[in-house]
């Protein structure tokens, strides 16, 4: 980049993170943006997860960009299609579609020390260069299949919840569902009335809270459109609730205990059978795994065509699932609601920074980054929704906006200093990480396994605090935290 030029930017991913990032840059006069998207459409997880009942359990007025309020959300907890449409219309309104290269799966990115630029290669063999590289690939883009012996021997149909096979007819079938996370509790009530029999293989019961859902009426749509303050009040109200509950994760455990009592009451009210209730009662602190919200999950499990199986799965056999007691639970279809490879950040892309340093090596013990955004030795590389920026409670869109503003400031700094690259100082990043890990040690996330933690137990995904605390931290990029190095 020479004097007078604006930095060129490559953004990887066209989900909420990539689109939000590109909008922030565009709104601040940075037009030289290429968004590389491996798929044929935008949307990220909201394009991929089309299972029955897929919806967001964060209220839509909060799960949306602050600068793009939508007065006509169909429901408080809108479904996948509505959210996907929202993101598409936002991208269109901000004239981003022309900047997106579809079918461009990034395989490798390499920083050229001499030129101070990134070269990004895609699976089709193409290479592009840019001054700035921003990864917005999310944390939940790669489905995890369980490592169960015999998994390929099954002769029926099988698929992962994030790759739902809509061609498979479930009506009248014997269906085995493995996993009881946020995805499963959404599709189980949808498929239970159709199937002949559903066996739900539960390894760990979830804490389930009631969902205060509502269909927004035409009157509310008009009100939200004419009085933006009303929609803002709904957004603010839910934001305040999530902030309050987030306090229970680190500072005030009594809040978590109170939320736990609400969940226990919900279970007691919805599951009268003590045997089933016992199976569904968690034995770990609330908040450790992601809290779930549903009014129809427990009722579905009480139906006569459902069996909740808690015996450990030992094997998948051609006609079903074998458990440790030797029983074969026959099934026509197996649905794996087994989650995502959340801790493998940016994987399987190969990222090479200064002097060819591999990002995978820098992250050997688990991913970490300054504010989840910048990594020492990787100049001009920025991460959206990177390590330790996921929330136990709250809206990721809020976090993405905070990060996009921070990264935009970095790009402004680079624009003001042509011929330089920006790199976070080792000490700043190390200090930040130590503080984050110290706070994480006090959270309930340490008391169970989840996609928030690596196999060695390090919590690489979650932010230990409130959304506002994070926003305050990243509000202003402090140049002192960075080294600006002259190139060429």
324 binds ligand N01 (CB under 6 A): no
Give the separation between CA 87 and CA 43, rounded to whole angstroms: 7
H or E stretch covering 130: strand 127-130
- Three-state secondary-structure class, residue 433: helix
| Contact yes or no for 105/89 (Cβ under 8 A) | no
Cβ 339 to ligand N01 shortest distance, Å: 2
Query: Of 111-119, 169-177, 197-205, 250-258, which segment contacts ligand N01 by CB under 6 A?
Result: 197-205
Which of 38, 197, 235, 290 binds ligand N01 (CB under 6 A)? It is 290
* Both structure tokens of 415: 């624009």
73 binds ligand N01 (CB under 6 A): no
Residue 471 carries which DSSP code? H
- Three-state secondary-structure class, residue 220: helix
158 binds ligand N01 (CB under 6 A): no
Cβ 217 to ligand N01 shortest distance, Å: 23
Cβ 430 to ligand N01 shortest distance, Å: 28
Cβ 56 to ligand N01 shortest distance, Å: 4
Residue 351 bridge partners (DSSP): 109
**Which residues within the stretch 328-367 sit at the binding site for ligand N01 (CB under 6 A)?**
337-340
189 binds ligand N01 (CB under 6 A): no
**CB closer to ligand N01, 16 vs 451:** 451
**CB closer to ligand N01, 57 vs 105:** 57
Q: What angle do CA 367, 370, 376 make, to 5 degrees?
A: 80
Query: Of 105-113, 130-138, 175-183, 379-387, which segment contacts ligand N01 by CB under 6 A?
Result: 175-183
Residue 35 bridge partners (DSSP): 11, 100
**Which residues within the stretch 445-474 sit at the binding site for ligand N01 (CB under 6 A)?**
449, 451
**Residue 150 CB contacts under 8 Å (≥ 6 apart), including other chains:** 315, 316, 317, 322
Q: Give me the 378-417 binding string for ligand N01, x by CB under 6 A, dash otherwise.
A: ----------------------------------------
**CB closer to ligand N01, 107 vs 449:** 449
180 binds ligand N01 (CB under 6 A): yes
Give the separation between CA 295 and CA 277, rounded to whole angstroms: 15
Cβ 178 to ligand N01 shortest distance, Å: 5
Residue 342 carries which DSSP code? T
146 binds ligand N01 (CB under 6 A): yes
182 binds ligand N01 (CB under 6 A): yes
**CB closer to ligand N01, 187 vs 370:** 187
**Residue 348 CB contacts under 8 Å (≥ 6 apart), including other chains:** 107
Give the C-alpha distances (Å, rounded to integers) separating 196 from 70, 160, 191.
40, 20, 10
Give the C-alpha distances (Å, rounded to integers) separating 391 from 55, 124, 206.
17, 35, 17
Query: Of 51-59, 189-197, 228-236, 318-326, which segment contacts ligand N01 by CB under 6 A?
Result: 51-59
| Contact yes or no for 454/445 (Cβ under 8 A) | no
- What are the residues binding ligand N01 (CB under 6 A)? 56-58, 140, 146, 148, 161, 178-184, 201, 203-204, 289-290, 313, 337-340, 449, 451
């Amino acid at each position: 980049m020479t004097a007078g030029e604006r930095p060129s930017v490559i953004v990887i991913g066209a989900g909420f993170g990539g689109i939000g990032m590109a909008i922030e840059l565009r709104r601040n006069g940075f037009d030289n943006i290429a968004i590389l998207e491996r798929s044929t459409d935008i949307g990220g997880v909201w394009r991929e997860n089309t299972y029955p009942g897929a919806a967001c359990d964060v209220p839509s007025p909060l799960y949306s960009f602050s600068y793009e309020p939508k007065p006509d959300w169909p429901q408080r907890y809108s479904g996948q299609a509505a959210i996907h449409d929202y993101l598409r219309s936002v991208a269109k309104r901000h004239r981003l579609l022309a900047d997106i290269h579809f079918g461009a799966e990034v395989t490798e990115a390499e920083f050229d020390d001499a030129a101070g630029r990134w070269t990004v290669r895609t699976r089709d063999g193409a290479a592009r260069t840019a001054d700035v590289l921003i990864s917005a690939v999310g944390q939940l883009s790669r489905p995890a299949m369980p490592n169960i012996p015999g998994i390929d021997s099954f002769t029926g149909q099988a698929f992962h919840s994030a790759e739902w096979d809509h061609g498979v007819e479930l009506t009248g079938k014997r269906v085995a569902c493995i996993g009881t996370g946020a995805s499963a509790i959404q599709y189980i009530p949808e498929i239970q009335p159709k199937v002949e029999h559903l066996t739900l293989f539960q390894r760990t019961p979830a804490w389930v809270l009631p969902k205060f859902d509502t269909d927004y009426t035409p009157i509310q749509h008009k009100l939200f459109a004419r009085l933006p303050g009303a929609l803002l009040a709904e957004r603010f109200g839910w934001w305040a609730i999530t902030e309050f509950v987030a306090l229970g994760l680190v500072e005030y455990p009594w809040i978590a205990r109170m939320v736990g009592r609400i969940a226990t009451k919900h279970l007691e009210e919805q599951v009268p059978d003590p045997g089933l209730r016992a199976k569904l009662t968690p034995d770990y602190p609330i908040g450790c795994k992601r809290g779930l919200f549903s009014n129809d999950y427990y009722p579905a499990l009480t139906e006569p065509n459902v069996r909740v199986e808690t015996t450990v799965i030992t094997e998948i056999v051609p006609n079903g699932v074998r458990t440790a007691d030797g029983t074969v639970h026959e099934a026509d279809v197996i649905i794996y609601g087994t989650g995502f490879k959340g801790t493998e950040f940016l994987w399987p892309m190969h990222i090479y920074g200064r002097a060819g340093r591999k990002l995978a090596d820098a992250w050997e013990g688990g991913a970490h980054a300054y504010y989840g955004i910048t990594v020492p030795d990787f100049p001009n590389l920025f991460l959206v929704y990177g390590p330790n920026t996921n929330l136990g409670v709250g809206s990721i869109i809020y976090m993405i906006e905070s990060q996009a503003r921070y990264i935009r400031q970095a790009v402004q700094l680079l624009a003001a200093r042509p011929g330089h690259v920006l790199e976070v100082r080792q000490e700043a990043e190390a200090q930040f990480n130590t503080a984050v890990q110290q706070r994480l040690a006090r959270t309930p996330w340490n008391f169970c396994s989840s996609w928030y933690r690596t196999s060695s137990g390090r919590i690489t995904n979650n932010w230990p605090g409130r959304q506002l605390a994070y926003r305050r931290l990243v509000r202003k990029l402090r140049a002192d935290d960075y080294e600006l190095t002259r190139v060429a």
